[in-house]
């Protein structure tokens, strides 16, 4: 899937933070007002119809939150019959679960794909049965049978991480270790590309050195540093290997580019095992998702920032799309040019990501209701 990265920021049209939107059941809509609409389902269907929700895994905190919130939001809109399934990060299991939803008469299936290229056969079955498909957060590639896509501006996520690092290091020369997400996740390329477009000029100028040699040659080489399955354990092992092999004789790592919080958690554990302690000399460490354990690490000085994607807003938007399809009307989208999955440009609704640091955990995560103050010891 090729995205025109140079148009990423312009495509979003988001100028306000998600918090500015009125709350609904402690959830907030996000992103811009839809700039255009796409045709909905040809025929209406009753709210008692089955809505399928396919999530990748329960092993990551965010997918548990996403699935539960979307299910609750649909129920609040009157869709009382939902099937929420988690596929244990197994593509065959996800395909089988989606097939079962179709067999049970689902009218719409919302899918957060494990592998964005592995669902073509089951989506063909969905199309044959008239089932509408919404790709949730991760684009599904290689199939014309993807009706809509809802996500955050994932290139912007990487830009926020890259610019945070750039601002933190100033003019200092630093040692950096880059990580990328799972090679089978369509979003991982965007995260890396957004960050590397900011940082690679500093690598070329010599301000940033990558002692491990694991600096991708270009954005398309990101899979060379990808962590399969986004697992904390794999990230911890990889970071430990780099530290043991390339940081000897007093050499220190100053910055670690981590695309999400799961990887950052493992990286922080590797740093701790190597004797790094929170304080002025602790490496700049990025993340994404505002997972509870990572927010606590930010409070403790063991992670520098996280890019927060308020998945409640994403769930609210997807539930709204389901409702619009069910009514036979137009579905709100705000990008009909950018997300080409190899067979079609998928009508998309984009939401805005937000940087969270130690200084604004309360105003962004607690005051918005994402976390309770008690969960963070406040």
pLDDT for res 44: 81
Helix axes 61-76, 311-326, angle to 10 degrees: 40
pLDDT tier, 196 (very low <50, low <70, confident <90, very high otherwise) = very high
Cα(75)–Cα(70) distance, rounded to whole angstroms? 9
CA 259 to each of CA 129, 236, 356, 367: distance values in angstroms, whole numbers, following the listed order: 38, 14, 14, 25
* Mean local confidence (pLDDT), 70-82: 96
pLDDT tier, 38 (very low <50, low <70, confident <90, very high otherwise) = low
Q: What average pLDDT does the structure give for the chain?
A: 89
Residue appearing with tokens 């697992």: 231
pLDDT one-digit tens code per residue, 313-353:
999 999 999 999 999 999 999 999 989 999 999 999 999 99
Q: Which of these ranges, 20-24, 204-208, 210-214, 370-374, has the smallest mean pLDDT?
A: 20-24
pLDDT tier, 24 (very low <50, low <70, confident <90, very high otherwise) = very low
CB atoms within 10 A of CB 266: 23
Examine the pLDDT at 25 and tell me if it is beyond 90.
Answer: no
Examine the pLDDT at 6 and tell me if it is beyond 70.
Answer: no
Cα(31)–Cα(328) distance, rounded to whole angstroms? 23
pLDDT for res 280: 84
Q: Which residues contact 20 (CB under 8 A, 6 or more apart)?
A: none
pTM: 0.76
Examine the pLDDT at 134 and tell me if it is beyond 90.
Answer: yes
pLDDT for res 43: 56
pLDDT for res 35: 42
Residue appearing with tokens 């939803």: 101
pLDDT for res 184: 87
Examine the pLDDT at 22 and tell me if it is beyond 80.
Answer: no
Specify whether the CB–CB gap between 101 and 109 falls below 8 A. yes
Spell out the domains of the chain, with CATH numbers in brackets: 5-152+310-352 (3.40.50.2300), 154-308 (3.40.50.2300)
* Mean local confidence (pLDDT), 43-53: 90
Can you name the residues that pair with 85 across neighbouring β-strands? 54
Identify the burial level of 213 via C-beta atoms within 10 angstroms of its C-beta, where 0-12 means exposed, 13-18 middle and 19 or more buried: exposed
Specify whether the CB–CB gap between 361 and 298 falls below 8 A. yes
pLDDT for res 187: 87
Examine the pLDDT at 278 and tell me if it is beyond 90.
Answer: yes
Specify whether the CB–CB gap between 260 and 266 falls below 8 A. no
Using H for helix, E for strand and C for coil, what is the string for the chain?
A: CCCCHHHHHHHHCCCCCHHHCCEECCEECCCCCCCEEEECCCCCCCCCCCEEEEECCCCCHHHHHHHHHHHHHHHHCCCCCEEEEECCCCHHHHHHHHHHHHHCCCCEEEECCCCCCCCHHHHHHHHHCCCEEEEECCCCCCCCCCCEEEEECHHHHHHHHHHHHHHHHCCCCEEEEECECCCCCHHHHHHHHHHHHHHHHHHHHCCEECCCCCCCCCHHHHHHHECHHHCHHHHHHHHHHHHHHHCCCCCCCCEEECCCHHHHHHHHHHHHHCCCCCCCCCCEECCECCCHHHHHHHHCCCCCCEEECCHHHHHHHHHHHHHHHHCCCEEEECECCCCECCCCECCEEEECCEEECHHHHHHHHHCCCCCCHHHHCC
Examine the pLDDT at 30 and tell me if it is beyond 70.
Answer: no
Examine the pLDDT at 112 and tell me if it is beyond 80.
Answer: yes
């Amino acid at each position: 899937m090729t995205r025109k990265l140079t148009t990423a920021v312009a495509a979003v049209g988001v100028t306000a933070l998600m918090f500015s939107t009125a709350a609904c059941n402690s959830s907030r809509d996000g992103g811009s007002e839809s700039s255009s609409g796409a045709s909905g389902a040809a025929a209406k269907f009753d709210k008692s119809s089955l809505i399928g929700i396919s999530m990748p895994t329960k092993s990551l905190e965010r997918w548990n939150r996403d699935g539960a919130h979307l299910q609750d939001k649909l129920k609040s809109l009157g869709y009382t019959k939902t099937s929420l399934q988690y596929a244990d990060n197994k593509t065959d299991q996800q395909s089988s679960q989606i097939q079962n939803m179709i067999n049970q008469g689902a009218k719409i299936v919302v899918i957060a794909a494990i592998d964005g290229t592995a669902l073509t056969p089951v989506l063909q079955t969905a199309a044959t049965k008239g089932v509408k498909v919404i790709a949730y957060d991760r684009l599904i590639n290689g199939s014309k049978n993807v009706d809509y896509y809802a996500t955050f501006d994932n290139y912007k996520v990487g830009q926020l991480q890259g610019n945070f690092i750039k601002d933190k290091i100033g003019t200092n020369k630093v040692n950096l270790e880059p990580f990328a997400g799972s090679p089978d996740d369509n979003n991982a390329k965007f995260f890396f590309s957004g960050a590397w477009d900011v940082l690679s000029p500093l690598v070329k100028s010599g301000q940033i050195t990558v002692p491990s040699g694991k600096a991708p040659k270009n954005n398309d080489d990101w899979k060379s540093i990808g962590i399969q399955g986004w697992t904390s354990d794999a990230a911890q092992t990889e970071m430990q290997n780099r530290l043991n092999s390339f940081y000897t004789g007093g050499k220190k790592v100053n910055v670690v580019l981590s695309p999400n919080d799961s990887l950052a958690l493992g990286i922080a554990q590797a740093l701790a095992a190597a004797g790094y302690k929170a304080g002025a000399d602790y490496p700049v460490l990025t993340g994404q998702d505002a997972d509870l354990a990572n927010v606590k690490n930010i409070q403790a000085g063991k992670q520098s920032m996280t890019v927060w994607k308020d998945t409640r807003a994403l769930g609210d938007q997807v539930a709204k799309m389901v409702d619009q399809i069910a009514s036979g009307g137009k579905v709100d989208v705000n990008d009909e040019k950018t997300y080409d999955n190899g067979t079609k440009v998928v009508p998309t609704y984009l939401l805005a990501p937000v940087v969270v640091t130690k200084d604004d955990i309360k105003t962004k995560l607690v005051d918005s209701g994402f976390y309770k103050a008690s969960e963070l010891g406040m």
